A and B are shown apart, each in its own frame.
Chain A
Amino acid sequence: DTGVSQNPRHKITKRGQNVTFRCDPISEHNRLYWYRQTLGQGPEFLTYFQNEAQLEKSRLLSDRFSAERPKGSFSTLEIQRTEQGDSAMYLCASSLVSFSTDTQYFGPGTRLTVL
Chain B
Amino acid sequence: DQQVKQNSPSLSVQEGRISILNCDYTNSMFDYFLWYKKYPAEGPTFLISISSIKDKNEDGRFTVFLNKSAKHLSLHIVPSQPGDSAVYFCAVRSLIQGAQKLVFGQGTRLTINP
Q: Is A7 an interface residue (CB 8 A)?
A: no
Contact between B104 and A44, CB atoms less than 8 A apart = yes
Contact between B104 and A43, CB atoms less than 8 A apart = yes
Q: Mark B93-114, 1 if CB is under 8 A from A, else 0.
A: 1010000111111110000000
Report B-chain residues with C-beta under 8 Å of the C-beta of A93: 43
Docked complex Cα distance between A8 and B41 (Å)? 13
Q: Is A69 an interface residue (CB 8 A)?
A: no
A contacts with B, residue count (CB < 8 A): 24
Count A-B pairs with CB separation below 8 Å. Answer: 55
Docked complex Cα distance between A106 and B49 (Å)? 15
Q: Is A51 an interface residue (CB 8 A)?
A: no
Docked complex Cα distance between A103 and B48 (Å)? 10
Contact between B100 and A4, CB atoms less than 8 A apart = no
CB interface residues, B 76-93, toward A, < 8 Å: 89, 91, 93
Given contacts A103-B46, A107-B43, contact A31 B91 (CB under 8 A): no
A contact set with B: CB distance below 8 Å: 4, 31, 33, 35, 40-45, 48, 55-56, 58, 91, 93, 101, 103-109
